[in-house]
């Protein structure tokens, strides 16, 4: 222990290095398995439709139930997570989603599907807020864009692996195993997560990360020990913060595209291109891989080139999303390789803004409101954006065909870009 709170002993520095890596590893693989219990439906949809006679609106209803409950849960869970032990919160949430997947695979009723997937969405909301909170506490603003981007690749790793696993299970074992197998794997992973994850630096007897990083904000960070009330968190640092509103509206448009591509691409390719389940699922794999690289590039560039400003790279990437969307729309008859390249490019440009919205929400609010601020943007992302990509988009496809699907995606590209314009110069972190 040192005499000054602004200088760490060698032991403390060693502990910080160890725990930063261990916390990062834990939230990384933990979130990978949240995707195992969330995304299997998209790859089982064609088989479920054929086996049980569901139309696109029926399938969209199931997806909408998850989106709405997940979006509400992200906000509610965010408020709770800012005041809870991340270890218990995240591991329990993952375990319950695993059990719900096992039950989902054993039923056949549309209404039971909707109820179970809605419950799954609620407990899916236990995954993101603890991660956002821990990234805010263990990594400082000067490095957070890069670390946030690296952690966010867990989305793509999880999405890519479940694309392969669920597609293979559906084609060779039956669609029910697309829920059984990920459910069992994730239940085991939740127990391991409980053993490895911990909470904030202060819970381990360490000072704020700004002290470890020797940053100018270190003195202020040491003084910041007051816990915000729920009212102050919501009113001062979320609802009265214009930046959070712009980010939330942008998140709506980003998630219309992201969820639309995730949930409908396999069905689109099996219907229009007459691809097998496995081949169609492989294009979603490349969408996720593109997102993995895109997030790392976006985070690194926003840290190094734009010095922590997230707005410019968000706008640039969002505009470029339109290119692969239009290419996929116009390339009827393209082969699997070309489609996979387009999907890689779409993921590359889309996941940059998707990742940096959450990062910017944390940085433009208050560290003690990190999970709440990111949860509020998540509310718009899922209750409105992802939910729209479910039942409403399914009805649009039923009425207008797949051209209606692509028109919605193009409109969302333009809408998202407009929302990012007021954030071009946003940089100042209001409170540590």
Topology of 10-423 in CATH?
A: Growth Hormone; Chain: A; (1.20.1250)
Residue 17 pLDDT: 94
Three-point CA angle 329, 178, 293, nearest 5°: 50
Instruction: Label residue 270 by pLDDT band (50, 70, 90).
Output: confident
Instruction: Give the percent of the chain with pLDDT over 90.
Output: 53
SS3 helix, strand, coil % of the chain, rounded to 5?
80, 0, 20
Q: Look at residue 306 and tell me whether its pLDDT is greater than 70.
A: yes
What's the mean per-residue pLDDT of the chain? 88
Taking only the tens place, the pLDDT of each residue in 26-48 is 999 999 999 999 999 988 988 99
Residue 2 pLDDT: 42
Residue indicated by tokens 């995707």:
35
CA distance 32 to 152: 10
For the ranges 113-117, 237-241, 301-305, the one whose mean pLDDT is highest: 113-117
Residue indicated by tokens 């001062």:
236
Domain residue spans of the chain? 10-423
Cα 273 to the chain's mean position, in Å? 29
Taking only the tens place, the pLDDT of each residue in 149-197 is 899 889 889 988 998 899 999 999 999 999 999 999 999 999 999 999 9
Residue 222 pLDDT: 55
Residue 141 pLDDT: 77
Instruction: Label residue 294 by pLDDT band (50, 70, 90).
Output: very high
Q: Look at residue 428 and tell me whether its pLDDT is greater than 60.
A: no
Q: Look at residue 248 and tell me whether its pLDDT is greater than 50.
A: yes
Pick the more confident residue, 224 or 347: 347
Pick the more confident residue, 96 or 388: 96
Give a three-class secondary structure readout of 149-211: HHHHHHHHHHHHHHHHHHHHHHHHCCCCHHHHHHHHHHHHHHHHHHHHCCCCHHHHCCCCHHH
Residue 262 pLDDT: 86
Residue 3 pLDDT: 41
Q: Look at residue 88 and tell me whether its pLDDT is greater than 60.
A: yes
Residues 6+ apart with CB under 8 A from 66: 38, 41, 117, 118, 120, 121, 124, 386, 390
Residue 4 pLDDT: 44
How does DSSP assign 379-425, residue by residue? HIIIIIIIHHTTHHHHHHHHHH-HHHHHHHHHHHHHHHHHHHGGGTT
pTM of the model: 0.78
Residue 407 pLDDT: 96
Cα–Cα separations (whole angstroms), residue 425 to 75, 414, 418, 422: 26, 20, 14, 8
Q: Look at residue 225 and tell me whether its pLDDT is greater than 70.
A: no
Instruction: Label residue 25 by pLDDT band (50, 70, 90).
Output: very high
Q: Look at residue 226 and tell me whether its pLDDT is greater than 90.
A: no
Among 162-176, 303-317, 398-412, the range scoring the smallest mean pLDDT is 303-317
What's the whole-number mean pLDDT along residues 294-300? 91
Instruction: Label residue 280 by pLDDT band (50, 70, 90).
Output: confident
Q: Look at residue 218 and tell me whether its pLDDT is greater than 70.
A: no
Among 97-101, 228-232, 389-393, the range scoring the smallest mean pLDDT is 228-232
274 Rama sector, left if φ>0, alpha if ψ -120 to 50, beta otherwise: left
Helical axes 86-104 vs 177-196, angle rounded to 10°: 170
What's the whole-number mean pLDDT along residues 101-106? 97
CA distance 69 to 147: 28
Contact 220, 208 (CB under 8 A): no
Instruction: Give the percent of the chain with pLDDT over 70.
Output: 94
Residue 227 pLDDT: 64
| 273 CB burial (10 A radius; 0-12, 13-18, 19+) | middle
Contact 348, 32 (CB under 8 A): no
Taking only the tens place, the pLDDT of each residue in 105-148 is 999 999 999 999 999 999 999 998 899 889 989 998 778 888 98
Contact 420, 311 (CB under 8 A): yes
Residue 302 pLDDT: 87
Residues 6+ apart with CB under 8 A from 412: 253, 254, 256, 257
């Amino acid at each position: 222990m040192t005499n000054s709170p602004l200088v760490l002993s060698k032991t403390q520095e060693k502990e910080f290095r160890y725990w930063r890596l261990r916390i990062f590893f834990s939230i990384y693989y933990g979130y990978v398995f949240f995707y195992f219990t969330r995304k299997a439906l998209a790859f089982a949809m064609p088989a479920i439709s054929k086996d049980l006679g569901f139309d696109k609106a029926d399938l969209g209803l199931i997806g909408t139930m998850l989106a709405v409950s997940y979006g509400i849960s992200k906000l509610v869970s965010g408020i709770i997570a800012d005041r809870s032990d991340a270890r218990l919160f995240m591991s329990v949430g993952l375990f319950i989603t695993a059990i719900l997947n096992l039950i989902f695979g054993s039923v056949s009723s549309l209404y039971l599907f909707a109820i179970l997937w809605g419950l799954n969405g609620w407990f899916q909301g236990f995954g993101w807020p603890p991660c956002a909170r821990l990234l805010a506490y263990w990594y400082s603003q000067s490095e957070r864009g890069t670390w946030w981007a690296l952690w966010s690749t867990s989305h793509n790793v999880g999405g890519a692996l479940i694309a392969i696993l669920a597609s293979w299970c559906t084609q060779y074992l039956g669609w029910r195993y697309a829920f059984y197998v990920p459910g069992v794997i994730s239940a085991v992973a939740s127990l391991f997560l409980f053993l490895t994850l911990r909470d904030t630096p202060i819970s381990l007897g360490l000072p704020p990360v700004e002290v470890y990083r020797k940053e100018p904000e270190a003195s202020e960070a040491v003084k910041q020990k007051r816990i915000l009330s729920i009212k102050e968190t919501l009113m001062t640092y979320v609802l009265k913060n214009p930046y959070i509103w712009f980010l939330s509206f942008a998140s709506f448009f980003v998630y219309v595209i992201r969820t639309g591509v995730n949930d409908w691409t396999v069905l689109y390719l099996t219907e229009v291109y007459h691809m097998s389940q496995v081949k169609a699922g492989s294009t979603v794999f490349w969408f996720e891989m593109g997102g993995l690289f895109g997030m790392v590039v976006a985070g690194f560039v926003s840290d190094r080139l734009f010095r922590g400003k997230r707005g410019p790279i968000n706008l640039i990437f969002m505009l470029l999303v339109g290119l692969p969307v239009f290419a996929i729309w116009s390339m009827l008859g393209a082969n699997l390789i070309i489609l996979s390249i387009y999907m890689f490019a779409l993921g590359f440009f889309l996941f940059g803004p998707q990742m940096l919205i959450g990062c910017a929400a944390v940085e433009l609010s208050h560290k003690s409101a990190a999970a709440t601020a990111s949860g509020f943007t998540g509310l718009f992302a899922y209750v409105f954006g992802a939910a729209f990509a479910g039942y409403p988009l399914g009805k649009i496809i039923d009425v207008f065909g797949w051209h209606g699907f692509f028109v919605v995606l193009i409109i969302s590209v333009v809408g998202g870009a407009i929302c990012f314009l007021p954030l071009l110069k946003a940089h100042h972190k209001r409170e540590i």
